């Protein structure tokens, strides 16, 4: 059946609730954002030369190296930093970009953003991305090239962020169909007098 439009207030957190709700309706953005932190909780963070000439595997709960298990609380702190400096900001940034793209296609078709709005839209991602690049560089200095290349925690997260950023900026009309069913009023159109989303149904 038809989705029910959530009731929104005038507070800032309700605006972000809407952004996150729009994000949750776009599978190509939602699932990578959800699966990545779940993987970090169970899967290896990196594979490389952890101790001298011995190859080890880093997990959230410790390190396996040379057939031995080395528990350590520092890995939890490392994951905590990753969560609050990258994962959560990235989720909010992608949600904001997705909601902006949704408005471009449905609520404000053809309307160009002013320069200040564009800066506010893209600057947070650049800050988070550059911070992650610097952390990946420090990770490379500490553990070497192999750990850098086989590092879902640092290196692969950069690829994930870049792909999600591009996807959010260039979402096709079909991807925002579920959000449009809830947020678009009958008088609003999608780049034409007849809504292409409705034409496909």
How many residues in the chain?
201
Q: For the full predicted model, state whether its pTM sits above 0.85.
A: no
- What average pLDDT does the structure give for the chain? 81
69-125 pLDDT tens trace? 888 777 888 888 888 999 999 999 999 999 888 888 876 666 677 788 888 889 999
Instruction: List all residues 6 or more positions away from 77 whose beta carbon is below 8 Å from its beta carbon.
Output: none
30-67 pLDDT tens trace? 999 999 989 988 889 999 888 777 888 988 888 888 88
75-86 pLDDT tens trace? 888 888 888 999
| Helices 155-169, 88-102: crossing angle, 10 deg rounding | 20
Identify whether the C-beta of residue 56 lies closer than 8 Å to the C-beta of residue 6. no
Residue with tokens 């560089």: 137
């Amino acid at each position: 059946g038809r989705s029910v439009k959530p009731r929104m207030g005038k507070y800032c957190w309700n605006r972000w609730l809407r952004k996150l709700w729009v994000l949750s309706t776009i599978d190509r953005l939602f699932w990578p954002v959800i699966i990545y932190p779940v993987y970090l909780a169970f899967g290896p963070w990196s594979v490389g030369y952890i101790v001298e000439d011995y190859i080890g595997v880093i997990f959230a709960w410790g390190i396996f190296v040379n057939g031995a298990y080395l528990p350590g609380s520092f890995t939890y702190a490392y994951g905590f930093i990753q969560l609050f400096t990258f994962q959560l900001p990235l989720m909010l940034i992608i949600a904001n970009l997705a909601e902006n793209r949704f408005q471009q296609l449905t609520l404000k078709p053809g309307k160009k953003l002013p320069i200040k709005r564009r800066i506010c839209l893209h600057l947070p991602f650049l800050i988070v991305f550059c911070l992650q690049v610097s952390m990946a560089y420090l990770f490379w200095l500490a553990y070497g090239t192999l750990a850098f290349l086989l590092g879902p925690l640092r290196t692969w997260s950069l690829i994930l962020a870049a792909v999600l950023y591009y996807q959010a900026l260039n979402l096709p009309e079909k991807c925002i169909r579920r959000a449009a069913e809830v947020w678009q009023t009958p008088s609003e159109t999608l780049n034409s007098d007849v809504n292409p989303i409705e034409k496909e149904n």
